[in-house]
Amino acid sequence: MTLDPQDFDLNSDNKELPFVSVIVPIYNGETDLPDLVSCLRAQTYPADRVEYLLVDNQSRDRTFAHLHQFATESGDRQLNLIPLQANQIQSSYAARNVGIKASQGEILAFTDADCRPSAEWLAELVKPFSQDTVGLVAGEIVGLPAQTLLETFADRQDTLSQKHTLAHPFCPYGQTANLAIRSTALESTGLFRPYLTTGGDADLCWRILRSTKWTIQYAEKAIVQHHHRTTLPELCRQWHRYGCSNRYLQELHGVALTPELSAGEYGYRIARWLLKEVPRNSIGIVRGKSDRAHLFATPLSLMCIAARSQGQRQAQLSSRAQQIESW
């Protein structure tokens, strides 16, 4: 279907708008569900042109029971919420595949349970598909309002932004926290690798972009908010996972690993921080022109870099992770 962007009028009863399947994998997400469902109810995209497939992935809490409750409650609000279960493999990618196989949409939109899509998210994410050549669209990911030093640090680094992934030197890709794919783009490439634990979004995007003629576009106004990590262990695990993803993608696609810093480079940056940045930022704090996030930016950055390097060294891709699930 080809749509003229100028005819994309959400205020009309336009049955020419593509039918969209929103797929959300959920693991132990009962506390996130109320806010997530509230965001889905607020979407401006016509309710009769979208289905929401929420896939419980072997949760240990009452996620699936809550999904059924929300599905029942949403019936009167025209929110087509469909609870599903992915019981065979503990993996967000396996859960997404369950959603894909149950979907009816021309466009498959992905986000996560701990994300908070803006009201215009889906409408803005779908717009670029008016172009026949577009097979993937990446929306923007921003942090929820920062409350702690670590959240402020991550916010200033634009850690979550899709601008980084879309500028990847090997091939652009979008993160599944905010990604849409034309369903027909999966016909020749297959679905997500169900046993992959991280990096599956890049892997799928690269398989589509490198083996077909589909293109990817950036929808800057299609915004979802996401939590930043609030503790040092969580932050280190996040960057360790980035390193594991790098290793897996290196084995699957031959992409270069991120260069590691030498001991001398770590030492130089710490010395520069102690001798230059700490005095300067301390004075800035006293004068109200700086804060603790600026003061500790360098050691936090080095901690993240070290965790990523450790992930790259330690990760081992299992043989099962190379499997691609077919539709």
Q: Cα(295)–Cα(298) distance, rounded to whole angstroms?
A: 8
Helix H or strand E segment including 201? helix 200-211
CA angle centred on 68, ends 63 and 69, rounded to 5°: 95
Using the 3D structure, point to which of 169, 197, 229 is the last residue of a domain: 229
User: For residue 5, what are its two tokens?
Assistant: 């962007």
Helix H or strand E segment including 252? helix 232-253
pLDDT confidence of residue 157: 85
Is residue 234 assigned to a domain?
no
Given a cut of 60, is residue 2 above it in pLDDT?
Answer: no
pLDDT tens, residue by residue, 180-205:
999 999 998 999 999 999 999 999 99
Q: Is residue 48 located within the same domain as residue 121?
A: yes
Q: Which domain holds residue 73?
A: 5-10+17-229
pTM of this prediction? 0.91
Q: Is residue 222 located within the same domain as residue 92?
A: yes
Q: Is residue 181 located within the same domain as residue 306?
A: no
Q: Is residue 178 located within the same domain as residue 111?
A: yes
Tell me what percent of the residues of the chain surpass a pLDDT of 90: 80
Using the 3D structure, point to which of 229, 260, 288 is the last residue of a domain: 229
CA–centroid distance for 296 within its chain: 27
Q: Is residue 216 located within the same domain as residue 264?
A: no
Is residue 282 assigned to a domain?
yes
CATH number at residue 121: 3.90.550.10
Q: Is residue 265 located within the same domain as residue 133?
A: no
Given a cut of 50, is residue 6 above it in pLDDT?
Answer: no
pLDDT confidence of residue 14: 64
DSSP secondary structure string for all residues of 48-117: GGEEEEEEE-S-SSSHHHHHHHHHHHHGGGT--EEEEE--S---HHHHHHHHHHH---SEEEE--TTEEE
Given a cut of 60, is residue 75 above it in pLDDT?
Answer: no
Q: Is residue 52 located within the same domain as residue 186?
A: yes
Q: What is the largest CA-CA distance in the chain?
A: 64
Is residue 139 assigned to a domain?
yes
When divided into structural domains, the chain yields a total of 2
Q: Mean pLDDT across the stretch 144-152?
A: 89
Q: Is residue 110 located within the same domain as residue 143?
A: yes
Backbone angles phi, psi at 25, to 5 degrees: -80, 140
Q: Is residue 146 located within the same domain as residue 28?
A: yes
pLDDT tens, residue by residue, 272-316:
999 999 999 999 999 988 889 999 999 999 999 999 999 999 999
Among 115, 105, 13, 14, CA closest to 53 = 105
Is residue 289 assigned to a domain?
yes
pLDDT tens, residue by residue, 156-180:
888 889 999 999 999 999 999 999 9
Range with the poorest average pLDDT among 76-80, 311-315, 323-327: 76-80
Would you tell me how many other CB atoms lie within 10 Å of the CB of residue 144? 14
Q: Is residue 286 located within the same domain as residue 161?
A: no
Is residue 325 assigned to a domain?
no
Is residue 243 assigned to a domain?
no
pLDDT confidence of residue 68: 85
Is residue 244 assigned to a domain?
no
Is residue 107 within 8 A of residue 182, CB to CB? The reply is yes
pLDDT confidence of residue 73: 76
Q: Which residue has the higher pLDDT, 319 or 5?
A: 319
Is residue 172 assigned to a domain?
yes
Q: Is residue 171 located within the same domain as residue 274?
A: no
Query: Is the sign of the CA dihedral 137, 139, 141, 144 positive or negative?
Result: negative
Q: Is residue 221 located within the same domain as residue 128?
A: yes
